[in-house]
Amino acid sequence: MSLVVIGTLAYDSIETAHDSRESALGGSAMYFSVAAAPYVQPRLVGVVGGDWRDEDMKLLARRGVDLAGVESIPEGKTFRWGGRYEPDWNTRHTTFTELNVLESFEPKLPAHYCQSKFVFLANAHPQVQMQGLAQVESPIFSVADTMNLWIDVARPDLDQLLHKIDGLILNDEEARMLTGENNLIRAAQRVLELGPKFVVLKKGEHGAFLLGEGLHFSLPAYPVTEVIDPTGAGDSFAGGFMGWIAKTGNAYPDTLKRAMLHGTVAASFCVEGFSVEELANRTLDDYEARFQDLQAIVTL
């Protein structure tokens, strides 16, 4: 079934202990779309500037992403972000953020996007997320991501958003900040009291768990032997997760559990290359093979 994603398209400058990239393809909606593409045709909503490279549009088109919702502002500049990772990967420093065209971004969904049944609101100001969601006429399942910044500066808007969505995906640090609970299970329980029917709590290299009413599923990460660049792993997880759900066409507990594995698979491909370099080459066969591997590792 149809899946729409609203989020950022970016050029990233990334430094790791081993290598670096300038103006690499990035952004939450970018990673999400590339990750979800083997399962469905993601309908992408985002904004780019006049510096957006034609080759990047082609990459997305080749991947089967619907680009009708990508707004281009020729006189503007694409959102840019820079990050540097410590050798242990656990600490990331943001070296710069240039909002550029993102500053005045208001999502506008093309007519056919408004019929989408599955919605993912990637990290953005919660008002922007709500503007996007409001344009979808009768979504059957909507999930959002968020980040520390919005928890800090836009809490009332975020609280409103949390009552409009079915699920929230966030990481350990964000869950602790949102709820004031250090213990992650208790933090996830608190998130459920804020509105969503379920929460996916991501713990990076330590996996993720899913909590909802009568639903609890915990999964380790896929054992990647060489991490190249963790940028976008969380958005790729969301892409694999939502892509699988949209493909299946329902959000029953069994579907959500399997979606956790599909999200984990997508995130593992993401971190094996810079930017979307590896992820964008992965086929449905690759996804299925790694799904089998992961399932074998976690099955008694």
**Which residues of this protein are in contact with a copy of itself, per CB under 8 A?**
87-88, 182-186, 203, 206-207, 209, 216-220, 223-227, 254, 257-258, 261, 295-300
| Closest C-alpha among 37, 5, 112, 3 to residue 276 | 37
Q: How far is the CB of 130 from a copy of itself (least distance, A)?
A: 32
Sign of CA dihedral 133, 125, 256, 295: positive
Q: How far is the CB of 33 from a copy of itself (least distance, A)?
A: 26
Instruction: Using CB atoms within 10 Å of the CB of residue 148, give its burial: 0 to 12 exposed, 13 to 18 middle, 19+ buried.
Output: middle
21/138 Cα distance (integer angstroms)? 41
Q: How far is the CB of 223 from a copy of itself (least distance, A)?
A: 4
Q: How far is the CB of 278 from a copy of itself (least distance, A)?
A: 17
Nearer to a copy of itself, 198 or 209 (CB): 209
Nearer to a copy of itself, 1 or 298 (CB): 298
E strand map for the chain: 3-6, 10-15, 20-26, 42-49, 66-73, 79-85, 92-98, 118-121, 141-145, 167-171, 198-202, 208-212, 215-219
Nearer to a copy of itself, 113 or 217 (CB): 217
Q: How far is the CB of 279 from a copy of itself (least distance, A)?
A: 20
Are 3 and 40 a contacting pair, CB within 8 Å? Answer: yes
180/38 Cα distance (integer angstroms)? 37
Nearer to a copy of itself, 103 or 254 (CB): 254
What is the Cα Rg of the chain in Å?
A: 18
Nearer to a copy of itself, 102 or 219 (CB): 219
Beta bridge partners of 71: 47
Q: How far is the CB of 50 from a copy of itself (least distance, A)?
A: 41
Nearer to a copy of itself, 97 or 218 (CB): 218
73/31 Cα distance (integer angstroms)? 21
210/69 Cα distance (integer angstroms)? 30
Nearer to a copy of itself, 178 or 228 (CB): 228
Q: How far is the CB of 174 from a copy of itself (least distance, A)?
A: 16
154/177 Cα distance (integer angstroms)? 13
